[in-house]
Structure 1
Amino acid sequence: MSHYFRLVQVFSKKQWILIGLILLLQLTIAGYQIGTSESLLNNGKEITLELAPVDPRSMLQGDYVILRYEIAEVNELKNVHSGNKVFILAKEDQHGIYQREKILTSINPRDYQLAQDEVLIAGKYNGYNGIIIGIESYFVKEGTGLDLQRNAKYAKVKVSRTGNSILQSIE
């Protein structure tokens, strides 16, 4: 019990308040991220995207599938620097797959008018061959990555009104 009292005496009241504020800030940030993801899962629009094949093995991480999306593969974008935020305007085709219509570079997604069969997908231009949308890795049960990679054609994705996306499954 005396060790506890020594620890309490080491910190002043101001230091305890600072520690408490730091913990509160960390919990607030974690809660916000969890809430944002849950909101996207509950309220986002489910879409299907076509995949492009990539090698599924990592010596350190085990089996996973690296996903490349057809809509995110682009040639060099003029007047767009590597790391710049972009939005892919995707439209549903006759088979229920969302295809890229165009890439938008300077919009506010909340103000952009979308048709019922359109979505915006936020990403970052990587500077040479595509757009990173943040859902390129999908970890799978050990021993299943290669088979899944060979057979996967589509990804089910939830997309929010502002372009944030969460990968739900691959088929």
Structure 2
Amino acid sequence: MANKIALVSLIIVLTLVNWSIYKKEQHLKEGEVVYLELAPVDPRSLMQGDYMALRFKVANEIREKLPKKNTILEPQEGDVIVSLAENRVATYKALYKGQDLAVNELRIHYRVRNRQVKFATNAFFFKEGEGKRYEAARYGEFRVDNGEVLLINLYDKELKRL
């Protein structure tokens, strides 16, 4: 009996893991491409081993608009509306409150954790020794699906993939 329970549990876990992988693959394949500008940073202070810490200009703008309790940004979640330029670069428009979106607008989900506004990730990992290559990073490429974002790669100021 214990073997049957273990086998059923294993099948359920593997099914859930594979479903999650499938959903992420669909997100990568079908999500809308959006570029978010990186917030001004000193790349030398961000390089630590094989990753770069990321902050985004839109996140800073969201942070300014969110209510604070005793000057501290509380943990929360929400959506922001961004306007898309022809080159798919997103700029802050407004906090989402259920309003209709224009053709050139998109809704992106954000989370506030540790007093920071975050999207999918706050780090970009790369092969050891390739830090110099990413010092020119000015944009993060995301795939957006129903507000959820996945970071794909980093781009320079001319939107050339690094």
Equivalent residues in 2 for 1:5-154, closer than 5 Å: 14-52=1-39, 53=41, 55-58=45-48, 62-73=49-60, 74-75=63-64, 77-78=66-67, 82-93=74-85, 96-104=88-96, 113-126=100-113, 128=115, 130-148=116-134, 150-154=135-139
Contact 1:82 1:124 in 2 (8 A): no
Q: 1:144 offset after TM fit, Å?
A: 1.9
- Structure 1: gaps (5+ residues): 1-13
Partners of 1:31 and 1:95 lie apart in 2 by 34
TM-score, with structure 1 as normaliser:
0.75
Match of 1:6? none
Q: % of aligned pairs identical? A: 22
Match of 1:169? 153
RMSD across aligned C-alpha pairs, in angstroms? Answer: 2.3
Q: 1:45 offset after TM fit, Å?
A: 0.3
Contact 1:56 1:63 in 2 (8 A): no
Partners of 1:85 and 1:28 lie apart in 2 by 29
Runs of 4+ with >2 A deviation:
53-58, 79-83, 93-96, 112-116
Partners of 1:142 and 1:20 lie apart in 2 by 40
TM-score, with structure 2 as normaliser:
0.78
Partners of 1:44 and 1:152 lie apart in 2 by 22
Partners of 1:76 and 1:92 lie apart in 2 by 20
SS for the counterpart of 1:143 is coil
- Could you give the per-residue CA deviations for residues 109-159 of structure 1, whole angstroms, max 9, x where no partner exists? xxx64332111111212363x4111222111121222441x3111111100
* Residues 1:66 and 1:35: Cα distance change in structure 2 (over 3 Å): same
| Rg larger in structure | 1
Match of 2:158? none
SS for the counterpart of 2:27 is helix
